Amino acid sequence: MDRRDFLKTVAVTGALMTIQRSEAMDILSQKLVSATGKKVDLVAVMGGEPDVMFRRAITEMGGIKNFIKPGQKVVVKPNIGWDKAPELASNTNPKLIGEIVKQCFAAGAKEVTVFDHTCDDWQKCYKNSGIEAEVKAAGGKLVPAHLESYYRPVSLPHAKNMKNAKIHEAIVNCDVWINVPVLKNHGGANLTISMKNHMGIVWDRGFFHQNDLQQCIADICTLQKKPVLNVVDAYRIMKTNGPRGRSASDVVLTKGLFVSQDIVAVDTAAAKFFNQVREMPLDTVGHLANGQALKIGTMDLDKLNIKRIKI
């Protein structure tokens, strides 16, 4: 599939299909929003820059003020796990994070905090990902997450395998948080998206790998304080050698974005999108079905009101 054909890829309710003519795309888009009076459950945007796509998506969902209220302490949680430049798609796109922080302040947020429990040196990750500069320019603050003292014990009574976890104090103490992963290949989980991004708020990530990774990813998403939004960065997709990546040959420029409050649905849509780049059957991404079984969301996109936008 060449780049032109790929950028015609469309997120739809049952699957992400390739439409060959823009006229057909417009007709399909109209059908997706024909259910008047219903809120939009999921927005899929293609073809723009990360900040532009987010502005369009959040407008379709009624605006950022539907999710962020004046005076609130907000956490924005990207994937910043790796000491890599933005072009390698190891981390969430910095322009997207900067825009989200700006929008939170525009909605009246008291403070906006950004962090991740990184795999590489946290200071290098924050800086070289480009996220540190964007967050500071937008007025937000970054906090470290490399010491156990930053984490607080939390019970997960609805989980199957992982009944307790130590969660970063920024999440424990905030009013609301926004989950902003990058869509990419992962050697253990096959894909890392919104659900997998929760591992960056937990201290003991070794427990996940020792006690059924796919189940524990679903378990941590039973956390009572759920993200008010899940924003999946698919501007660049790391199709192979994830989660760290090796070179630019692992990356495809796809210019996509998915937004929903339903974490299973948004990850299902993003996983279907990934399949346009590289085959990855949904049943190999077991935490999706596990999450649905725990009733934290749905994989049945046909039941949702989805808005698809081509910029």
Distance CA 25, CA 209 (A): 41
Q: Taking 60 as the threshold, does the pLDDT of residue 184 lie above it?
A: yes
pLDDT for 18 equals: 35
Among 26-35, 210-219, 300-309, name the one with the lowest average pLDDT: 26-35
Between CA 269 and CA 271, with CA 91 as vertex, the angle to 5 degrees is 15
pLDDT per position as a tens digit, 260-300: 999 999 999 999 999 999 999 999 999 999 999 999 999 99
Which amino acid would we find at residue 171? I
Mean pLDDT of 176-201: 97
Nearest Cα residue to 49 out of 229, 308, 234: 234
Task: Say what the pTM is.
Answer: 0.89
Find the largest Cα–Cα distance for the chain.
56
Domains, the chain, in order of start with CATH, read 62-298 (3.40.50.11440)
pLDDT per position as a tens digit, 136-159: 999 999 999 999 999 999 999 999
pLDDT for 38 equals: 76
